[in-house]
Amino acid sequence: MRERDALRRSLPPTPPAMRHAPRLPTRARRAPQPRLALLVNPFYAKDPRASFGKHVLTPTLALTSIAGATPPGWTLRYWDENLLQGPPPADPLPQVVGITVHLTFARRAYALAAWYRAQGAVVVLGGLHVLSCPEEAQAHADAIAIGDGVALWPQILADLARGTLRPRYSADFARPYALDPPPRRDLLPRRAFLTTTSVIATRGCHNRCGFCYLSTAGLHMPYRLREVRQVVDEIAADGQPYAVFVDNNLGSRRDYLRALCHGLKPLGIIWSAAVTIDITDDVPLVREMALAGCTGVFIGFESLEGENLVAARKRTPAPLDYARRVALLHAHGIQVNGSFVLGFDHDGPEVFARTVEWIESVRLECATFHILTPYPGTPLFRQLESAGRLLHRDWDRYDTAHAVFRPRHMSPEALEHGYAWCYDRLFSHRSIWRRRPPDLRAVPAYLAMSYLYKRSNRLWHHLIRRELTALTWRPLIELSRRRHLRFRAQLARREPGVPGTVLSAGV
């Protein structure tokens, strides 16, 4: 108990706007406006140890994709409570409100649903938590959507218009992904995000890690591809210098990624994506990624302990080879944001220092930490539940920042303390400096990015509330884009396989 109290006292100050959802107004029942639909991304409390800025890098693609599937004749509004613009709109009152529900903000989603239903609106809930806990969600909605929301949304609206709305709709993810319409980015407040060009080209992943949401019971997401030209045209139409691919693993099909790189190359933009570290098995493909504008990859290393990876059913190269593979990405001008999960059964108290020291030794530009969290419906959840190791089902705390189960080799309090220590160390001046790129020309942009992203939490709620995110980041993006264009020219002249100067872009 003393350890947990000390941890709470050591928390950095967090503005109330980042901790608490906006208060909902007093109910004032009014007639809904026919054929007006509102799509809401609920508020969730921000982890004071992590960067507040990461929450406004890109908009939620789930809601803009559903908006793209809305049939003609409907008026649409988009509202993200995490942009700190106050409670969601109700004047005019929408006829239907679609709310995405994830585990950590399920309580807020249900509160919004109750408020809108009391006002007279019809509420539809969808999202991963609805799939994993449908009975729980059903009690809070007029209808729930289980599975592919883009396929279900037109059907739900058609039934609503006919007065035949059903309480439950289900769809799998079997239909061709290329049939999905483009997202409705015109609904977004462009100044509020680092970039509005969040894109998904592929759906699914070749891994089925036991702790990942893709292993949720009932979720069958076969690997699906969109046409390369479709993706490239969508990016070009948004007119942003920086795009973020939100695919689970853009590199699952290397032939597809190579074709995508060829399509992206003429755009002259920079982009980042999540891939697995085994992408470095194909060095020519890494080169193609760099030549096409890839300046950063998000890699789920998860653990430096091989036994943890085997137990999690993650197919990956040996951790002893991670450093060489990171160096290969750096040599192609691609920075690495590593993701690490803490609290596996083979983790002891030494895991925290070992992980951070490795991050610093290979100079990862950025890293994120997550306490192992058993999402409902996953093999990990069933395993810990059957072993009696779950501490509670308070979904608010299933946010990867709290220990919600009993670790095998440490206390829950020790796991939380170690998680906090990792972030405190990584975000320290010393660690930021130790991880600077060897190329001195890249250091100013790296430092600017690091301090804006990692050490500006006191400023972020002001930037977010005043919609200054794009304005603040744009100079760094443009600097990185121009530097990477020069680097691409150098790389194109270099013989494949010949290492060059490490260039670490600032995005």
Tokens representing residue 499 in the block:
């290492």
Task: Report pLDDT for 377.
Answer: 82
Q: What share of the chain is helix, strand, coil (3-state, %, to 5)?
A: 45, 15, 40
Q: Which residues contact 436 (CB under 8 A, 6 or more apart)?
A: 363, 443, 446, 447
Which region among 9-13, 135-139, 254-258 has the lowest average model confidence (pLDDT)?
9-13
Q: Residues near 170 by Cβ (< 8 Å), separated by ≥ 6?
A: 145, 146, 147, 152
Q: Which of 46-60, 262-276, 396-410, 484-498 has the lowest mean pLDDT?
A: 484-498
Query: Domain segments of the chain: what residues?
Result: 2-177, 189-342+443-493
Length of the chain: 507
Report the alpha-carbon distance of residue 369 to residue 339 in Å, rounded.
6
Q: In what order do the strands lie in the sheet with 294-302?
A: 198-199, 242-245, 270-275, 294-302, 335-342, 366-371
pLDDT average, residue stretch 264-285: 96
Tell whether domain 189-342+443-493 is in CATH 3.20.20: yes
Note the pLDDT of residue 287.
97
Instruction: State the pLDDT at residue 402.
Output: 96
Domain 2-177 adopts which CATH fold?
A: Rossmann fold (3.40.50)
Lowest mean pLDDT among 93-97, 102-106, 121-125, 269-273: 102-106
**Can you give the pLDDT at residue 332?**
95
| Tens digits of residue pLDDT in 432-473 | 999 999 988 889 989 999 999 989 998 999 999 999 999 999
- Angle, alpha carbons 475-481-485 (nearest 5°): 150
498 pLDDT tier (thresholds 50, 70, 90): low
Mean pLDDT of the chain: 90
The pLDDT, as a whole number, for residue 503 is 47
- For residue 2, the Cα-to-chain-centroid distance in whole angstroms is 34
Residue 55 has pLDDT above 90, yes or no: no
- pTM, full prediction: 0.91
Percent pLDDT > 90 in the chain is 77
Rounded distance between C-alpha atoms, residue 118 and residue 111, angstroms: 11
- pLDDT on residue 378: 85
Report pLDDT for 28.
67
pLDDT-derived band at 383 (thresholds 50, 70, 90) equals very high
What tokens does 34 get?
């026919």
Using a 10 angstrom Cβ sphere, with 0-12 exposed, 13-18 middle and 19 or more buried, the burial of residue 243 is: buried
Banded model confidence at residue 506, pLDDT cuts 50, 70, 90: very low
Residue 355's alpha-carbon distances to 7, 277, 303, 351, 372, in angstroms, are 20, 17, 8, 6, 15
pLDDT at 391 over 60: yes
pLDDT at 10 over 70: no
| Local structure of 77: helix, strand or coil | strand
For the purposes of burial, counting CB atoms within 10 Å of the CB of 170, is it exposed (0-12), middle (13-18) or buried (19 or more)? middle
Each residue's pLDDT tens digit, 323-356: 999 999 999 999 999 999 999 999 999 999 999 9
